[in-house]
């Protein structure tokens, strides 16, 4: 029988729409989806996970339970949480335990179970604090030509920078990389590793990842160049450190506030709901910082696929309908027969439009209209409201990092529009703001038109 797996240090995340369509996913969950026959932006192809998403969407409440699924080489016991949000259904894998198939399954399972260094995620290597490799996936074992466990990391990977040493990197107990490294057979890789701690906060090792670096300028690439942008990876490190504690805070506060564990005074239930709301705002900020870290990297890129703007608009309308209803705001959406295909990445376009419509709902007066319109001629989507609008002199400032135009206390991070414009331009499009016909603000997203054959 499946047993509850140990909690991950870094939960594995995904976002689905209420129908179960996978909008975004961390690599581990994306791989499960692909190996189960899933397609890009299609219905989540792992049945047990899809059931949780659809149950959470139908009931409107958080669902958390143990499920068993399988990939090509393992049975996987997963502790999974599905949580409704304004963007859709957030899927979080909080626990992950693998059961290897094949003749050496029992031996490997026993080795892993006995190890004090049971680390967080499904990764390429697990490394003890002293530099010994304590676990490796089959693909990594083949890369190094056989036995990897029990060997020292410096014997497996040569650091390209002579100013760095493995002992110094591991002693810092911080996120490592990405750093250029060379295997004994000359393969160039980018190495990254995150620290893992136990329940007492003690470092128990690192979990490492590799990216093929063959396409990079290997002779000249330095760590600072690989990092791109700020070169610090702050958003990723910060997100890794705080995402699980925030998830716990939200889950526990919601449980208390909903009185699932028994009656409590009304005022304390209100305090719990306030805590959950504050934690959600922090979680949104964490997501923005992670996006900021990604889009400011020199190697950031987006997919190029055909996306239908009318479909995007109607999906956003469905995802934000409850938020609009809370403010008695009517969402006016394009008609179902309007179809305007453009070129971009589905989840990134959805992210931009969610941000624009969410902002319009946040700042528009209660009882007003928020309109999403599409122009087939310019292949653009506009979001307009009946609020105060944005002064002409502020229309460039609003796209700057952390710019709030003096607003405070509304839960915004000041990063959404900066990220949205960067994403639009990465897809060879543009995002601008002007005045709506009703006098409020109107944001217009333009994207390359799809070639219809």
In this predicted model, what pLDDT tens digit does every residue of 3-59 receive, in sequence order? 455 666 567 889 999 889 999 888 888 888 887 778 888 889 888 898 899 888 888
Look at residue 93 in the predicted model and tell me its pLDDT.
87
Look at residue 375 in the predicted model and tell me its pLDDT.
94
Q: How far apart are CA 440 and CA 433, in angstroms?
A: 10
Predicted structure pTM score: 0.47
Instruction: Quickly state the pLDDT bin for 249 (edges 50, 70, 90).
Output: confident
What CATH class has 115-221?
A: alpha beta
Average pLDDT over residues 168-174: 75
Domains 115-221 and 305-446 agree in fold: no
Average pLDDT over residues 287-294: 66
Look at residue 36 in the predicted model and tell me its pLDDT.
77
List of long-range contacts for 249-253, beta carbons under 8 Å, 24+ apart: 249/275, 249/276, 249/279, 250/83, 250/276, 250/279, 250/280, 250/283, 251/62, 251/64, 251/81, 253/279
Instruction: Quickly state the pLDDT bin for 448 (edges 50, 70, 90).
Output: very high
Instruction: Give me the CATH topology for the region 7-100.
Output: Beta-Lactamase (3.30.450)
Closest CA to 381 of 452, 327, 333, 321: 333
Average pLDDT over residues 358-386: 93
Indicate the range of 54-58, 269-273, 322-326, 375-379 predicted with least confidence: 269-273
251 or 425, which is more confident? 425
Instruction: Quickly state the pLDDT bin for 111 (edges 50, 70, 90).
Output: very low
232 or 428, which is more confident? 428
Look at residue 284 in the predicted model and tell me its pLDDT.
65
Which architecture, in CATH terms, is 305-446?
2-Layer Sandwich (3.30)
Indicate the range of 6-15, 132-141, 393-402, 423-432 predicted with least confidence: 132-141
Average pLDDT over residues 231-245: 52
Look at residue 428 in the predicted model and tell me its pLDDT.
92
Q: Taking the domains of the chain in order of start, what are their residue ranges?
A: 7-100, 115-221, 234-295, 305-446
**Which residues, 6 or more positions from 404, have their beta carbon under 8 angstroms from its beta carbon?**
412, 414
pLDDT at 380 over 90: yes
Look at residue 22 in the predicted model and tell me its pLDDT.
92
DSSP 338-391: ---EEEE-HHHHHHHHHHHHHHHHHHSPTT-EEEEEEETTTTEEEEEESS----
């Amino acid at each position: 029988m499946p047993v509850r797996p140990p909690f991950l240090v870094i939960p594995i995340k995904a976002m689905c729409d209420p129908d179960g369509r996978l909008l975004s996913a961390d690599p581990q969950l994306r791989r499960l989806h692909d190996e189960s026959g899933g397609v890009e932006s299609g219905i989540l192809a792992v049945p047990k996970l899809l059931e949780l998403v659809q149950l959470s969407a139908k009931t409107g409440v958080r669902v958390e339970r143990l499920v068993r699924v399988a990939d090509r080489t393992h049975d996987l016991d997963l502790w999974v949480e599905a949580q409704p949000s304004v963007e859709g259904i957030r899927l979080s894998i909080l626990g992950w335990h693998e059961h290897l198939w094949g003749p050496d399954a029992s031996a490997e399972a026993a080795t892993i179970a006995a190890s004090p260094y049971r680390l967080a995620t499904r990764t390429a290597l697990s490394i003890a604090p002293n530099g010994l490799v304590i676990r490796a996936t089959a693909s990594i074992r083949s890369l190094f030509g056989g036995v990897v466990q029990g060997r020292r990391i410096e014997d497996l990977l040569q650091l390209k920078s002579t100013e760095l040493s493995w002992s110094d990197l591991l002693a810092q107990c911080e996120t490592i990389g990405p750093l250029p490294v060379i295997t004994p057979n000359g393969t160039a890789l980018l190495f990254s590793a995150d620290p893992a701690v136990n329940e007492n906060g003690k470092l128990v090792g690192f979990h490492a990842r590799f990216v093929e670096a063959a396409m990079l300028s290997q002779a000249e690439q330095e760590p600072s160049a690989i990092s791109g942008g700020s070169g610090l990876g702050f958003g990723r490190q910060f997100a890794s450190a705080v995402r699980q504690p925030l998830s716990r805070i939200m889950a526990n506060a919601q449980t208390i506030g909903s009185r699932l564990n028994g009656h409590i005074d009304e005022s304390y239930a209100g305090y719990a709901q306030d805590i959950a709301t504050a934690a959600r705002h922090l979680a949104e900020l964490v997501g923005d910082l992670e996006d900021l870290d990604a889009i400011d990297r020199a190697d950031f890129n987006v997919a190029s696929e055909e996306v239908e703007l009318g479909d995007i608009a109607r999906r956003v309308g469905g995802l934000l309908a409850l938020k609009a209803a809370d403010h008695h705001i009517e969402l006016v959406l394009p008609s179902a027969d309007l179809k305007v295909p453009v070129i971009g990445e589905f989840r990134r376009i959805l992210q931009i439009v969610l941000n624009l419509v969410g902002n319009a709902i946040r700042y528009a007066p209660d009882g007003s209209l928020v309109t999403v319109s599409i122009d087939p001629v310019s292949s653009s989507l506009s979001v307009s409201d009946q609020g105060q609008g944005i002064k002409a002199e502020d229309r460039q400032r609003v796209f700057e990092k952390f710019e709030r135009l003096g607003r405070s206390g509304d839960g915004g991070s000041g990063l959404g529009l900066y990220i949205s414009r960067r994403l639009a331009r990465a897809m060879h499009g543009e995002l601008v703001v002007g005045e709506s016909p009703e006098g409020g603000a109107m944001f217009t997203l333009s994207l390359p038109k799809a070639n219809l054959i």
